[in-house]
Amino acid sequence: MGGYTMGAKNFILITIFSIIFSSTASSFNPPKFKDGDIIFQTNTSLQGKMMESATKFKYNHAGVIFYIKNKPYVFECYSNVTFTPLDKWIRRGAWKKYIVKRLKERDNYITPLSLSVMKKNAIELKDKHYDYYFEWSDAKMYNAELIWKLFYNSLGIKLCELQILSDFDINSPLIKPKLKARFGKHIPYNEKVVSIEKIFNSSLLITVN
């Protein structure tokens, strides 16, 4: 009763195959981001406010994306160096806005072997405390330093030129008291530093989102 016309049958078959194909294709879509991508946000934490105060750059927090058991994490220094689930990291940012950048010649630098070196180096840095004094040592880390050193020590890449502490606005009320408490009258104005702004504007990176 009520048989389908050839046109109707064809329409139904096309619809079914379209649904199957689209669901199959989407399940094989590669992740939007890749291991080694650098993600930037505006963060309202004390650390973020300090970096923003020092550099006057709106993106004050950043980390490196790594996949662990197929789930994306951000390698960052918050109160300490840690791996934070990507979705949680994004929620922590102002308006959940973020920018992701990637090495222009990523595939030439990030191979399975070099990626394993990056992850190994990242794990070795885990749990180090945040460096509120912007010292260029490995005892403690701030975000821009963490990212710069990870790329340099793992891949031999200088994401940007280093600066010195006096390039920062160290008279900021968020920064000066901490430096004074740590160094007294002997603030190391020539201490090597690196800023998130310099990494963000690196000529070696492209924006991917």
Residue 9 sits in the same domain as residue 106: no
172 and 86 share one domain: yes
Residue 119 and residue 22 share a domain: no
Identity of the amino acid at 192: K
How confident is the model over 128-178, as pLDDT tens digits? 999 999 999 999 999 999 999 999 999 999 999 999 999 999 999 999 999
Instruction: Kindly report the number of other CB atoms within 10 A of residue 16's CB atom.
Output: 10
Is residue 55 located within the same domain as residue 21? no
Domain identity same for 94 and 193: yes
- CATH number of the domain that residue 126 is part of: 3.90.1720.10
Q: Which domain holds residue 4?
A: 1-30
Q: Are residues 172 and 193 in the same domain?
A: yes
The answer for residues whose C-beta is within 8 angstroms of residue 160's C-beta and 6 or more apart is 148, 194, 198, 199, 201, 202
pLDDT, tens digit, 9 for 90 and up, residues 83-134: 999 999 999 998 999 999 999 999 999 999 999 999 999 999 999 999 999 9
Q: How many beta carbons lie within 10 A of that of residue 44, not counting itself?
A: 12
Of 38, 39, 61, which Cα lies nearest the Cα of 50? 61
Q: Are 129 and 138 in contact (CB under 8 A)?
A: no
Low-confidence winner among 21-25, 111-115, 138-142, 193-197 (lowest mean pLDDT): 21-25
Counted domains in the chain = 2
Residues 87 and 185 in one domain: yes
Separation CA 176–CA 91 (nearest Å): 30
The confidence band for 46, taking pLDDT boundaries of 50, 70 and 90, is: confident
Same domain, 4 and 78: no
